[in-house]
Amino acid sequence: MRQETIENYLKTIYNLSSNNTAVVNNQKIADRLSLNPATVTEGLRKLHELKYIVYEKSYGSRLTASGSKLALDIVRRHRIWETYLAKELGFGWDEVHAIAEELEHVNNVKLINKLASILGNPIYDPHGDPIPDEKGKIQKSNFIKLSEAKVKFYYKVMGVTDHSTTFLKYLEKHNLIIGASINIKTIEDFDNSIVLICQKKEVNISPKAAECIIVQSI
Amino acid sequence: MRQETIENYLKTIYNLSSNNTAVVNNQKIADRLSLNPATVTEGLRKLHELKYIVYEKSYGSRLTASGSKLALDIVRRHRIWETYLAKELGFGWDEVHAIAEELEHVNNVKLINKLASILGNPIYDPHGDPIPDEKGKIQKSNFIKLSEAKVKFYYKVMGVTDHSTTFLKYLEKHNLIIGASINIKTIEDFDNSIVLICQKKEVNISPKAAECIIVQSI
DNA sequence: ATTATCTTTTTGGCATACCAAAATTAATAA
DNA sequence: TTATTAATTTTGGTATGCCAAAAAGATAAT
């Protein structure tokens, strides 16, 4: 199996099993990688043979220790590159993902560690996702998307994943700046829009906007 | 044909036809890419179909305008990365080639131009090879290896392609520092070793060392 | 000019990574 | 529980990139 193929599968399985214990189903992998389901079945069978995953037919896959190790390594490379592209090379946060998607396959530990060191060994990337360290250790993040927030809970705005002028203006209008404290009042049943209190004013946030706002439970 | 495969062939053909007009034979391509001659024959036939090269059976290949364009682009990416790795990320000149060999396939114009700009848009890389500009224009270099120097001519030492301590000490001992002026006295017939005058002293340079010293006609 | 040698090409074959369509298996709803 | 729908797997097939060994072509040496 080509190394790049292996890496793409493992990264995808890792990302889809967020907590890294959940079993991932084939269809989601096929969607993410834009592959035919038949191709995925084949791929997973091979990854099982290579002992990167445990694959149970008609059930799903989860990473083994060695698969997890490789997946974390790829995730590290990807996030370090994203951060480097954004912070050191002046790319927009909307541009970095696609480039990092290619750069992540260049496997040179010294290179990634050097970039990380220049960046001050960050534990979070520009999107608020945690960056595994060289050993694969990951800072468990309590950052979530506003769209995943629960009613009555208090949160702090930590970042955004969309940096378009229109979106930033939208946020400004509602006082949703970085660091702002918010309280979720209700989530509308019919369209999932979120009603929250920010600086004593009631604000209505669309589901689309809520997807792009990163918050932390406080 | 996979993009990476195309790029590796074109780069190799470009490098082997130095002046970019000479016809390149299959065996040299096979050697450089560590491929079976049969594979090369196949590859060249496909590149001909794609109009990247003109390939005449049992004769050889040369780049077309479009092949040359792509080749120069790859060469640019490779040499910019080498320079960036060496100058900005602190890699040794012996390490940069292998890493650049992978990074060169990441095709993002903005990225390469940004790196070039940080470096001050250099026209030569750490090995003394010229870096094509964004349009593929190349500064014609009059740098040659000392091994290609001619008797009675005057040259200036411009760089080295081997950075081992032992080699640098060898040079120092003979006063062959960067910028030094030299005059080729004779080239020994039986072993091709070079006798030159440097700072009024006669110095004998082995063919192996002469391969690693870059000079410029003055 | 005719071997001998070296290079290139052809032939037949293998592994990988894919897909479409059919068949199977699992999940869900009636 | 049985039908219906959805997910998964099998089957048969394609394109790419590679190789070894045999055949053909070109080059050099005597």
Q: Is 90 exceeded by the pLDDT of residue A10?
A: yes
pLDDT value of residue B19: 65
pLDDT value of residue A14: 96
Q: Is 70 exceeded by the pLDDT of residue A19?
A: no
- Reduce the DSSP state of residue A140 to 3 states and report it: coil
Average pLDDT, chain A: 91
Question: Which of the pair, A123 or A44, is modelled with greater confidence?
Answer: A44
pLDDT value of residue B174: 86
Q: What is the pLDDT of residues A29-84, one digit of tens each?
A: 999 999 999 999 999 999 999 999 999 998 999 999 999 999 999 999 999 999 99
Instruction: Please state the rounded mean pLDDT for residues A93-118.
Output: 94
Q: Phi/psi at B154 (nearest 5 deg)?
A: -105, 140
- B96 and A CB contact within 8 Å: no
Please state, in angstroms and rounded to a whole number, the distance separating the CA atoms of residues B43 and B40.
5
DSSP annotation string for B52-108: SEEEETTTEEEE-HHHHHHHHHHHHHHHHHHHHHHHTS---TTTHHHHHHHHTT---
User: Helix H segments across B91-199?
Assistant: 96-103, 109-118, 165-173
Q: Is 70 exceeded by the pLDDT of residue A163?
A: no
Q: Among residues 140-199 of chain A, which lie with CB inside 8 Å of chain B?
A: none
Nucleotide closest to residue A38 (CA–C1') = D9
Query: The tokens 């000479």 sit on which residue?
Result: B22
Give CA B82 to chain center in angstroms.
Answer: 12
Q: Among residues 57-76 of chain A, which lie with CB inside 8 Å of chain B?
A: none
Reference A123, options A134, A109, A108; nearest CA is A134
To test the contact with chain B by mutation, choose from A78, A103, A117 the residue with the greatest count of B C-beta atoms within 10 A, namely A103
Among A113-117, A174-178, A199-203, B209-213, whose mean pLDDT is lowest? A174-178
Reading phi first (left if > 0) and then psi (alpha if -120 to 50, else beta), residue B110 is in: alpha
Please state, in angstroms and rounded to a whole number, the distance separating the CA atoms of residues A138 and B216.
53
Q: Phi/psi at B108 (nearest 5 deg)?
A: -145, 105
Please state, in angstroms and rounded to a whole number, the distance separating the CA atoms of residues A203 and A97.
31
Please state, in angstroms and rounded to a whole number, the distance separating the CA atoms of residues B27 and B60.
10
User: Is residue A117 within 8 Å of residue A123, measured between CB atoms?
Assistant: no
Q: Is 90 exceeded by the pLDDT of residue A164?
A: no
Nucleotide closest to residue B25 (CA–C1') = C7
The structure tokens listed for A143 are: 């950052």
- Reduce the DSSP state of residue B5 to 3 states and report it: helix
DSSP β-bridge partners for residue A182: A155, A198
pLDDT value of residue A27: 95
In angstroms, how far is D4 C1' from A129 CA? 41
Please state, in angstroms and rounded to a whole number, the distance separating the CA atoms of residues A71 and A66.
9
To test the contact with chain A by mutation, choose from B102, B107, B115, B117 the residue with the greatest count of A C-beta atoms within 10 A, namely B102
Could you tell me the mean pLDDT of each successive run of 10 residues in chain B, 218 residues long? 97 87 92 97 97 94 96 97 96 88 97 98 84 91 86 89 76 82 90 91 90 88
Reference B163, options B214, B108, B216; nearest CA is B214
pLDDT value of residue B66: 96
The domains located in chain B, with CATH, are 3-63 (1.10.10.10), 144-217 (2.30.30.90)
pLDDT value of residue A39: 98
Please state, in angstroms and rounded to a whole number, the distance separating the CA atoms of residues B161 and B208.
11
Query: The tokens 């091709």 sit on which residue?
Result: B192
The C-alpha of A101 sits at a distance from chain B's nearest C-alpha, in angstroms, of 10
Reference A216, options A155, A161, A175; nearest CA is A155
